[in-house]
Amino acid sequence: MDKFLIHGPTRLEGSVSNVTAKNAVLPILAACLLTEEPCVIRDVPQLEDVSTMARLLRSMGVKTELRRRTMKITAGEKVERTATYDIVRKMRASYYVLGPLLGRFGDARVSLPGGCAIGPRPVDLHLKGIAALGAEVKLEHGYIHAKGRPLRGGTMVLEGTSGPSVGATANTMMAAALARGETVIEAAACEPEVIDLANFLIAMGAKIEGHGTPVIRIKGVKRLHGADYRPIPDRVEAGTLAVAAAITHGNLEINGCEPEHLTAVIDRLRQAGATVETGKRRLVVNAERRPGPVNVATAPYPGFPTDLQAQFTALLATGLGTSVVTENVFESRFLHVLELNRMGAKIDINGRMAVIQGVERLSGAQVMASDLRASAALVLAAIAARGDTEIQRIYHLDRGYESLEKKLGDVGAKIERVSY
């Protein structure tokens, strides 16, 4: 097991490169199940979650080849239709195999993923979507067993209590690509990663319109073919790096990103007093002073992303005045606050709301990561804090950030990975 030892405070300055989006790559890898022909996915990030998805596909009889950052996936005729608990429990995104298995084979048996450290995330909308396509769905021994051949186009509304569901939109879209007739997904998720999945399916021969809007229309085709595809940049990593510049009063150029995917984050950074310049696939963030007070409320895209809430909370903890952060997407996504308070932050939690009294400087401490984005928040807090910080359970971080310690180290951070 590894931990980080971080010595602060440091000021980040220089240029960094963004990677391909984990949250786009994972459903795209699952979508390769929709054809027996090889698919080539380029610029695949070297992340634990990507390795887990590849391991799941191999356990189902799919051939995967990774050379440098290019992954070739071939799901031939003999594909196991079960996604076992041993793998699904490690990564909720494993559930993305449900739609393509059902769409291509008319049969899918996928373990229930359970809850996680940021609260329960029910699969009811996933099941609602595939049921609307005519699938028969049963819960058996902790597994969802869905059958339906042929699937037939239908109309469904995929909005839950926290807004449209990205996962349910993706799973339904993949299943519908091979269904008979037309499928209409209303209250569909509009996230860039959903658009990217739709574009990959179109590259495979699917007929999809409206992706990126609340109404997606899919006309089913008889078969899909292989495709060669490069997914979009990771907006969450780019946003994390932008907040890293702001919290250290630094100046960072972030290359290989899509600023249009970060409009809400850029707006809040500017409200906090940072200067943000945007260009073609680049951001430049310059922050010379403590951030001012900002109120943030997470929301589905194009609102402020829940996956950047923890990082922004760390930033506002070092700011002036009082800020309020409201988490509208996931329950229990304030576990990082307890650890930030150990570092001298003054944050009170009231339900889904965090009230932050900014302090001039955080101080180093021993802390423990609770989930992926909380890990990133603690790293940002530590590089801005006075003294030494030890962050345990950084295996969470490795799920979604590729060598973050090296990337930040190259622009001034003092981070050491230690095995213990």
Task: Please report which residue ranges of 133-259 form alpha helices under DSSP H.
Answer: 166-176, 192-203, 235-247
Show which residues are catalytic. Answer: 116
Q: What is the largest CA-CA distance in the chain?
A: 62
CB atoms inside a 10 Å sphere around CB 139:
10
What is the C-alpha radius of gyration for the chain, rounded to an integer number of angstroms?
Answer: 21
Quick one: tokens of 199? 């574009």
Task: Output the CA torsion sign for 30, 220, 76, 230.
Answer: negative
Identify whether the C-beta of residue 355 lies closer than 8 Å to the C-beta of residue 348. Answer: yes
Helix axes 335-342, 372-384, angle to 10 degrees: 20
CA 216 to chain centre: 21
**CA atoms of 419 and 3, how far apart (whole Å):** 6
Task: Please report which residue ranges of 256-385 form alpha helices under DSSP H.
Answer: 263-271, 309-317, 335-342, 372-384
H or E segment to which residue 163 belongs? strand 163-164
**CA atoms of 315 and 318, how far apart (whole Å):** 6
Identify whether the C-beta of residue 232 lies closer than 8 Å to the C-beta of residue 216. Answer: no
Identify whether the C-beta of residue 214 lies closer than 8 Å to the C-beta of residue 190. Answer: yes
Task: Please report which residue ranges of 248-288 form alpha helices under DSSP H.
Answer: 263-271
